[in-house]
Structure 1
Amino acid sequence: MRQGYHQERRHRIASAVAVLLLHAGLGIALVTALGFTPVATPEDSLRTFDLPAPAPPSPPPLRPAPRPERKSGAAAPPNRHARPVELVAPPVPAPLPPLLAAAPIAGPGADAAAGAAPLPGPGTGAGGVGQGTGSGASGSGTGSGGGSPARLLRGAIRDSDYPRAARRGRVEGSVTVRFTVDPAGRATGCAVTRSSGSAELDATTCRLIEARYRYAPARDAAGRPVVELRGWRQDWWLEPRR
């Protein structure tokens, strides 16, 4: 019995091996008959694709420029003194009185004589005292009246008044101005008649004159204060650098 069992088992194994060999032979025959050889195409092995463009590099952060180191040095040399020169302008002449129209016909009065009246008046005859520019006894015009000119009481332009910007830029010059001394003795209406070439120096001169200068006003022959026109020249200059 045991021997028959072993023979039957060997027969089954031999049959299985034969079947496997048959299937392998059929597979080889099929592949050979079809002539199929798997070939890898270049498209499968290498495919190209686009990469996104790299972003531009960000600029480096800005750094503030280093501040120059300030060094202390010697004091600046002293400035030269400004030398003001006062110019006296002639007083403004008073306007002439209006002319009187002559009568169209002779007067019907009974006076025995006609001519100059013994009292002062605005007429055109040879009166005693008038306001014109002729050779009367006195007047406020440009003739030889008996008045007195204005007299400076106080006011000056000092070295410390030199404008800072003009000092730094070494700007110099002489400016001539004209202003009015009113009956109260104040300097008003300052105007430049000859510029120094610097608008800052010109403006500073007029501003200081109107703010600081005070006068004893001019007076006419009767002692009454009157308006007077005056001039002033201011020299702005600095000591040379050493």
Structure 2
Amino acid sequence: MIETATQDRVKSALVAGAVHALLAYAFIAGLDRHAAPALDPPLKLFDISLPVPPPVVETVQPESRRMPEPEGRAAPPGLKAEASPIVAPKPRVRLDPPPPVVAAPVPGIGASVSQGASDVPGPGTGAGGTGTGTGSGGAGSGTGGGGAAARARQIAGRIVNADYPRAAKRAGVEGEVLVRFTVEPDGRVGRCSVVRSSGSDALDSTTCRLIQQRYRFAPARDASGRPVSDEKGWVQRWWLERD
């Protein structure tokens, strides 16, 4: 029984081997049938000769010679160095700006010594005047004619608001008076007269009286420098405040 089984296996193995051998033969035969045909004509080998380049000819440049430049004359001798003087800068003095001057709302009319400015309006009642320089010089001694080389110049005196005549103030009287007076050689005021009245005797008389009492002048002088008399004019304005 065992031997029969063994024989069957051997037979099966032989059959399988024969089948495999046939398959291998058929595969090899198919490869031979599809092999690539031989090349006709066969490939030939040949050499390719490259052209020989021409020889390189070197060109020799002739050596250039630079002509020597003519030599110039020697430079003149240099100036002798001298030290520059050193001057110290002048110091700058910085001045403070002056304080601003506050102008009055309405300029007053009066002598130069009584003019001023205020930032606060004053009372409405006041008095102001302007002087004039017209007039003739006093006569001097000698053969020459009279005349003043330098006119009289006011140096003191003024009429202020408090000088307003009380009677004229109560009556509401205002006005402007033009007077003429003489400045004596001693600088005092002599004769005073009304040229154009203000319309009020109180205002006219007060003007001349205060000028004679208060005003002082540097006297006029003739060509020799001697003090002489001089004539001056003055316009005095009196006004009251209006409500």
**Normalised by the shorter chain, which TM-score bucket?**
0.3 to 0.5
TM-score of the pair, normalised by structure 2: 0.47
